Amino acid sequence: MMPPQKQHWYCLKAKTKREHIAASILRSRENLEVFCPRITLTKKTVRGPKAFTEALFPGYLFCKFDYEESSRLVSFSRHIIGIVKFGTSTPTLPESTISELRRALPQEVAEVVAAPIKPGDLAEIVDGCFAGEQGRVIKVESTTQRINLLIEFLGNQVNIEVSGDKVINPNAGNPAAMLGLTPTK
């Protein structure tokens, strides 16, 4: 009979935008396995399309270790805020959860291409006098690269036309949704 496994996967809270640095530091330690999935998204900006690499789960990463032996080392590592707890309980993640994430992301940094905006989508204007406004896409003119949006302005629904490079899909900031990873109940 094999002895029970002492190492388990835990979710760690890290400083936002520092997850990859925290993961690198933890990887340098013995007896720790780290999984910090990141994705590269191409987003439209005022200056044109730009690639951004960010954490799939902003502010979080996963680490496999023996809690009794390494919890202090992990908790006090640079850029780590702590081990995720619910009250006094420290939950572990099943090996299958990490395996499924690794299957969905064969490399730790995956590239995701945003889907083109189409009629019926929600879109956000990133430049001009309506910057920050969101509206429903009515029509996309592929030949002129213009997009018709229905936005709410001064309490009324208004149909406006903007250049296609001034509009983004607001879900572009939700990488998990773009990969089709949805939480299970």
Q: Are residues 44 and 109 part of one domain?
A: yes
Q: Are residues 91 and 126 part of one domain?
A: no
pLDDT tens sequence across 116-153 = 677 888 887 777 777 778 888 888 887 777 888 888 87
Residue type, 136: R
Q: Are residues 75 and 39 part of one domain?
A: yes
Q: Are residues 110 and 44 part of one domain?
A: yes
Q: Which residues contact 111 (CB under 8 A, 6 or more apart)?
A: 39, 40
Q: Does 38 have pLDDT greater than 60? A: yes
Q: Are residues 163 and 129 part of one domain?
A: yes
Q: Are residues 107 and 71 part of one domain?
A: yes
Q: Are residues 95 and 132 part of one domain?
A: no
**Can you tell me the distance from the alpha carbon of 182 to that of 34, in angstroms, rounded to the nearest whole number?**
22
Residue 183, domain member (yes or no)? no
| Predicted TM-score of the model (pTM) | 0.61
pLDDT tens sequence across 65-83 = 999 999 999 999 999 999 9
Q: The CATH number of the domain where 131 resides is what? A: 2.30.30.30
Residue 83, domain member (yes or no)? yes
Radius of gyration over alpha carbons of the chain, in Å? Answer: 21
Q: Are residues 49 and 21 part of one domain?
A: yes
Please tell me the total count of domains within the chain. Answer: 2
Residue 178, domain member (yes or no)? no
pLDDT at 111: 60
Q: Which domain holds residue 127?
A: 122-168
Q: Are residues 142 and 53 part of one domain?
A: no
Q: Are residues 59 and 98 part of one domain?
A: yes
State percent of the chain over pLDDT 90: 39
**Can you tell me the distance from the alpha carbon of 30 to that of 72, in angstroms, rounded to the nearest whole number?**
14
Q: Are residues 133 and 104 part of one domain?
A: no
**Can you tell me the distance from the alpha carbon of 138 to that of 119, in angstroms, rounded to the nearest whole number?**
5
Residue 175, domain member (yes or no)? no
